[in-house]
Amino acid sequence: MPEEPLPTREISGYLKPEDALQVESAYRFSEAAHQGQFRISGDPYISHPLAVARILAEWRLDGQTLTAALLHDVMEDTAVTKEQLANLFGQPVADLVDGVSKLDRIEFQTQEDAQAENFRKMLLAMASDVRVILIKLADRLHNMRTLDAMYPAKRKRIARETLEIYAQIANRMGLNSIYQELEDLSFKHLYPYRYRVFSKAIKAARGNRREVVGKILDNIVQRLKEAGIEAQTTGREKHLYSIYRKMLEKKLSFSEVQDIYGFRVVVKDIPTCYYALGVLHGLYKPIPGKFKDYIALPKSNGYQSLHTSLFGPYGTPIEIQIRTTEMHKIAEAGVASHWLYKSSEANLSEMQRKTHQWLQSLLESLGESTDSVEFLEHLKVDLFPDEIYVFTPKGKILVLPKGATPVDFAYSVHTDIGSRCLSVRINGELKPLRTPLRNGDTVEILTAPYAKPNPAWLEYVITGKARTHIRHYLKTMQHEQSAMLGERLLNQAMVALKIPSESVDDAKWDRLLKSTGAKSRQDILTDIGLGRRLGIVVAKRLVNGEVASPEGKPAPLVIRGSEGMAVEFAKCCSPIPGDPILGFIKKGQGLIIHTHDCPVVRKSRVDPAKCLDVEWDSEITRQFDVSIRLEVRNQRGVLARVAAEIAEAGSNIENISMEGEGSYTTINFTLQVSNRMHLAQVMRALRRIPDVVKISRVKA
């Protein structure tokens, strides 16, 4: 049976009469639009938007939001258009409905692409009006409450998406009760057996510990009363998924998780919070290292409280949260409290500012990430709840995800600082850029005008903003360098086909662009450099194919070593100037250079059309990596002598590893050399060391 319409008393208590009328009108419109549609459970479809509106009415959201909630599926599931909604209910309502609607009418290659694109659209709408996500969270909450009707595979997919994305968005936005319910419901559908076992264990523990919990609560109330502190004190049970997560992280059994109960103390103002903390530390001993001051250092979602863990009676650890009434409202309602509690301006404005900053950082990722799935990866990282607090040299506090590095810090300060980052001082000491930051660190980034993002940074940065900017820079550089390589490959093909360069005019390029669908000449050249097109095919198409096949072999392509990311030197054989080399065009990567005798090339079947004749430039100044292996007698000081000879020969050690036992040790070096002659010079110097038994160059 369908649910009753929103009772007038539910909304008339806080909505203006005209807004209440619009909500009732929206209900009638939605009921008519969804007439004849049913949910998988068999209920009339109108029961779903009605339930979503009820959830939002509990949060005391405004009339436009309730109207949009009742209409949120009409654009997606019926023939109703955005223009119709705008005419009937106003443009703001139409925009809200459009922001919540999925992109089902667009075909995507994979479910992941569709999911990512939906989030992109939703977050764009959310940035202009945060009510979009409040409707979406209420929508998801009701869907999760009624998920039992779904097929098991779809149930698990929706539950995982909820756990990874929606629950974390609710957490980031300070919607604590929704966050916890979404996590528990996701847990129930992802791991139904574990959920049932945990539920029974919690009920049993609740009965066993009822007396202890009651005694602790009485003691807290009595001690606060004796100290003259007016407070609302409640006991609370931690939600199931948080207990399960704690067991996983700390590798505990359920019986070892003691603090499944916590206590909350709500007082009138901030000074009383700290006074109550002192009183409770006098009642029970605090557990060292388990105190967190989220009043002085609020979480990024605006959450504020004092957290302390104490040794309770019978050795039971207990967790206590102490906060003001305003903090409690914000902790429970998050950004929705903008509509619920309009009096608490200071805290709310700060919370909304932080929410806006977070949305803006997501939009930066959205703007620079061309790949929807890559954006979804950034979103999941930025939703990760664990945080650290670090300081700039001027004392400004920055909140970063746990595990963040100085490069993440640099990009969070400013994009230009991240891109020009050279080195870092942490607490006054020079440290590597990959050093994980810790709570309380003071971080000073040293920059240089010539510095630029390093591809190696992607191995350790964790924030979406840093990864997006680094990848954007690398893609831009790769495209520029690939276009330059593509131009050289095209010119080489034209010479082989005896096509004069002056014969290829703008008209021929325009005709080629039109026939291939490419946007510009630069795109064609980039595709050649990245191996997506063959230079000889492009050259023929430029002159309509009216050319003879090339006579003889074209001149070798000269490798200068300065081509950047467009040319890659294979790790399997590490070619250096002086080695005979071959070039292979690999789709999406560009030109890969191997030595003639590379074992990997011998084993693989290479398309002759993608094989290029290449040779080294006669004047190359850069250094190249090469691997050598030494077998040495296990004598004191031998490594120092080897390192000294390498340095004396003008080479640099990039990496070193050692293995072996007994009388002999094998040492593997990655060295930097100028060319084959330089390598020979280094190896001759090492052979002169008496304890070096054998030396060889390493190839895969």
Amino acid of residue 227: A
Tokens of 501: 């360069």
**What whole-number distance in Å separates Cα of residue 73 and Cα of residue 85?**
12
Q: Say if CB 530 and CB 589 are below 8 A apart.
A: yes
Catalytic residue (one of 76, 164, 237, 625):
76
DSSP conformation class of 144: H
Sheet architecture: strand order including 429-431? 429-431, 421-426, 443-447
Sheet architecture: strand order including 567-569? 557-559, 611-616, 581-586, 590-595, 567-569
- Concatenate the DSSP letters of all residues of 67-136 into one string: HHHHHTTHHHHSS--HHHHHHHH-HHHHHHHHHHS--TTS--SSHHHHHHHHHHHHHHHHHH-THHHHHH
Among residues 634, 616, 627, the alpha carbon closest in space to that of 693 is found at 634
Q: Decide if 76 is catalytic.
A: yes
**What whole-number distance in Å separates Cα of residue 452 and Cα of residue 320?**
47
Q: Say if CB 447 and CB 417 are below 8 A apart.
A: yes
Q: Say if CB 614 and CB 556 are below 8 A apart.
A: yes
Q: What percent helix, strand, coil does the chain show, rounded to 5?
A: 55, 15, 30
Sequence-distant contacts of 196-201: CB under 8 A, at least 24 apart: 198/240, 198/243, 198/244, 198/254, 199/240, 201/254
Amino acid of residue 477: M
Among residues 529, 533, 521, 516, the alpha carbon closest in space to that of 488 is found at 529
Q: How far is CA 4 from CA 67, 121, 574, in A?
A: 16, 32, 73
Bridge partners for 614 per DSSP:
557
DSSP conformation class of 472: H
Catalytic residue (one of 10, 24, 77, 568):
77
Q: Decide if 332 is catalytic.
A: no
**What whole-number distance in Å separates Cα of residue 340 and Cα of residue 56?**
11
Opening angle at CA 655, ends 650 and 656, nearest 5 = 100
Residues marked as catalytic: 76-77
